[in-house]
C-alpha cells in the first residue's frame, strides 16, 4: 500500500486549507503545530500575517517543524504541566466519517498525539483527497515501538494486526522517530470498533503509541483543487 504523490492540485488544496487555518489563529495565542506540508505552509502564513502583531507561541510536535517555526519568528512554548494550547493544527494521512484520523506517515505520531491531547481544540488541515470511507484504505497504520526487543514486540503486534512491516529509511537504515523509537507499518483490518482495536494495540507490551487518532479532532479544514475549503465539524 503506497503513499499518494502530491500534485499541483494538491498544492492549491493544501494552500486553501492552510489559509482557512490562519483565520482561526488570533494574536497572542498559544498553538500546537504538528508536521507535514500543510503545517509548514501554515507557518509561512503566520510569519506573513502576524509579523507586526502580538507574538504567536507554539508547541512543536517534530524537530523539522520546530526549525521552520523558529526561523519564522514563532516563539516556542513548553508543555510544562501548566501550559494549555488554545488550538492544535495538524495534517492527516486519512480522514474517515466522524473525523476519525489515521496519522503517522511522517513518523511524528507520538509527539503529535501528546500535543493534541494538551489542546482545547484540534483542527485537522488537509487536502480533500485524504477523505476515505474507512481508515486503512490507502495507508497502513504506524505503530511506534521501543527498540529493545522490538522483534518480540512485533510478534505480539501480529497477534492483533495481520501485518507489521519494519520501517526503514534509505539504504536499509532503521527509521527513528524524534523520540528514538522504531516504527511498524501495519495493515488495518476492516472493523466497526476502532476504539477497541486501538486499546488492544496500545496495551501490547513494547508499543509506545499508534496512529489511530479517534475522537480528537473538533474540526476538519479540507482544501479542494479549485481553492475552496470544505469545513467539517463534530
Task: Indicate which residues carry an active-site annotation.
Answer: 112
C-alpha gyration radius of the chain: 17
Give the start-end residues of each E strand in 37-193.
57-60, 75-76, 87-90, 94-96, 100-102, 122-127, 141-145, 165-166, 182-186
- DSSP 3-state of 136: coil
Is 132 in contact with 95 (CB distance < 8 Å)?
Answer: yes
Helices (DSSP H) in the chain: which residue ranges?
8-22, 37-49, 63-71, 109-117, 150-157, 194-202
Nearest to 187 by CA among 151, 144, 139: 139
What cell was used for 219? 474540526
Amino acid at each position: 500500500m503506497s503513499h499518494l504523490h502530491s500534485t499541483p492540485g494538491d498544492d492549491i488544496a493544501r494552500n486553501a486549507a492552510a489559509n482557512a487555518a490562519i483565520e482561526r489563529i488570533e494574536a497572542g495565542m498559544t498553538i500546537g503545530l504538528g508536521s507535514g506540508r500543510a503545517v509548514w505552509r501554515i507557518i509561512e502564513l503566520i510569519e506573513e500575517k502576524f509579523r507586526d502583531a502580538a507574538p504567536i507561541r507554539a508547541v512543536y510536535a517534530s524537530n523539522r517543524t520546530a526549525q521552520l517555526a523558529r526561523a519564522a519568528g514563532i516563539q516556542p512554548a513548553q508543555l510544562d504541566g501548566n501550559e494549555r494550547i488554545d488550538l492544535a493544527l495538524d495534517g492527516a494521512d486519512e480522514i474517515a466519517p466522524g473525523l476519525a484520523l489515521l496519522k503517522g506517515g511522517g513518523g511524528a505520531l507520538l509527539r503529535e498525539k501528546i500535543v493534541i491531547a494538551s489542546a482545547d481544540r484540534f483542527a485537522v488541515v488537509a487536502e480533500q483527497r485524504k477523505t476515505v470511507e474507512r481508515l486503512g484504505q490507502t495507508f497502513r497504520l504506524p505503530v511506534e515501538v521501543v527498540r529493545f526487543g522490538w522483534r518480540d514486540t512485533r510478534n505480539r503486534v501480529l497477534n492483533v494486526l495481520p501485518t507489521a512491516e519494519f520501517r526503514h529509511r534509505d539504504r536499509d537504515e532503521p527509521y527513528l522517530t524524534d523520540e528514538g523509537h522504531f516504527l511498524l507499518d501495519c495493515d488495518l483490518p476492516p472493523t466497526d470498533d476502532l476504539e477497541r482495536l486501538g486499546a488492544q494495540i496500545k496495551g501490547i507490551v513494547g508499543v509506545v503509541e499508534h496512529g489511530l487518532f479517534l475522537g480528537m479532532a473538533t474540526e476538519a479544514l479540507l482544501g479542494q483543487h479549485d481553492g475552496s475549503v470544505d469545513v467539517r465539524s463534530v
